[in-house]
Amino acid sequence: VDSEIAALRSAIQAADSIIVASHINPDGDAVGSSLALLMGIESLGKKATVILNDPVPMNLRFLPGWERIRGPEAVPLGAGLGIIADVGVMSRLGRARPSVEAAAHLCVIDHHEPDGAPPGDIRIIDTGASATCLILYRMLPTIGVEISPAIAQCLLTGIATDTGSFRFRNTDPATLDAASHLVALGGDLAQINEEVWEKKPLSAVKLLRFALDNLELYASGRVAVSRLTQSNYQEASASDEDSEGIVNEISRINTAQIAAMFREPKPGRVRVSVRSRGELDIAAVCRQFGGGGHVNAAGCTFESSIDDAIRTLVPALEACLASS
Ligand code: AMP
Ligand code: MN
Ligand code: MN
């Protein structure tokens, strides 16, 4: 890993243009790590642009520099260096993929379980890290970046969001040490908690009502499933962004070892978010259907009806339970 970090440092110095990208439907770790890289690269005297497939979610629009994030069309193809953060497969880049593929060199900084050989010439991958922002917290100083208060706030946001505000199993001593140091460097945890968790648009609260109404239990309550249909989204005046976090509400049910939220915000594509307790590896289940993620938090996408998606995935989730 040390040699990979040295290679990244040289690649940044050598590149005349740098793009930074992350995954579709970006979360706090995706946006936080992208912005920390942007500000870090700029502090080294180089220019960079962050490109994302989607607009920055409303609840992350407090992050320093969020308004500088562009759509992929904003930059010409052929950057000297592309860096992708919080994603290890090209298919999760969405419309940013052509720009990343056209870069002369590619660096991957990620903490997801790899699905096959990761792309890129430089790979900084640590599946033991609770967040990509934790990898950056360790790495940025070694490439000469001083962690400013703005960078600290971006890194702390990625760590706080990927650990569910330090509640999930991935909240290890290294994570808490980093968080403590990032607060000392100017990170504002109270602001993160308020903006990310404690504020929701009315449409998101209305959508939660439908998710609770549509709850189904399988395997004697050990698998909790819910769905959000297109008409639910319409009635709540909601968009896909409003479904963020709803799977966690479903997963609270104390008998549920696995929770899965199926949603179809737009016709023809069903996005699924899955959560599990303990050792149940639902990333492995999601990989069977072209998705992925982490042991306890993963997802996949189906191009079918919600009913068919549930009929396909639930037996695989039950099999995962049975094999444990
Ligand atoms: P989410 O349920 O959207 O919060 O995602 C949980 C985790 O699963 C995140 O680490 C995502 O990056 C990953 N994930 C979600 N959907 C997919 C997918 N279709 N393919 C691969 N990974 C996914
Ligand atoms: Mn992410
Ligand atoms: Mn992450």
Task: For the sheet with 292-293, list strands across it.
Answer: 216-218, 223-228, 258-263, 270-276, 297-302, 292-293
Reference 102, options 123, 81, 71; nearest CA is 81
pLDDT score recorded for residue 70: 98
pLDDT score recorded for residue 116: 87
pLDDT score recorded for residue 37: 98
Nearest CA to ligand 1 atom 9: 293
Please enumerate in sequence order all residues whose Cβ is within 8 A of that of 154, keeping only pairs 6 or more positions apart, or say none. Answer: 31, 32, 33, 35, 36, 39, 63, 64, 65, 133
Nearest CA to ligand 1 atom 11: 293
With residue 218 as reference, give the H or E element that holds it. Answer: strand 216-218
Mutational pocket test of ligand 1: of 91, 92, 133, 303, the residue with most ligand atoms within 8 Å of the beta carbon? 92
**220 Cα–ligand 2 center, Å:** 31
Tokens 């997801």, residue?
112
- At 9, the amino acid letter reads R
Contact 38, 10 (CB under 8 A): no
Tokens 């600290």, residue?
152
pLDDT score recorded for residue 228: 98
Reference 19, options 84, 95, 92, 98; nearest CA is 84
- 3-class SS at 56? coil
Mutational pocket test of ligand 1: of 112, 247, 271, 295, the residue with most ligand atoms within 8 Å of the beta carbon? 112
Mutational pocket test of ligand 1: of 130, 300, 303, 304, the residue with most ligand atoms within 8 Å of the beta carbon? 300
Q: Which atom of ligand 1 is nearest to the CA of 23?
A: 12
**17 Cα–ligand 2 center, Å:** 25
Protein residues whose CB sits closer than 6 Å to any atom of ligand 1:
23, 92, 112, 247, 273, 291-294, 297-301
- 3-class SS at 84? strand
pLDDT score recorded for residue 101: 98
**26 Cα–ligand 3 center, Å:** 10
With residue 173 as reference, give the H or E element that holds it. Answer: helix 173-184
Q: Which atom of ligand 1 is nearest to the CA of 301?
A: 19
Nearest CA to ligand 1 atom 6: 298
- At 264, the amino acid letter reads E
Block means of pLDDT (10 residues each) for the chain, 324 residues, are 94 97 97 98 98 97 98 96 97 98 98 90 97 98 98 99 94 98 98 95 97 98 98 96 94 98 94 96 97 94 97 98 91
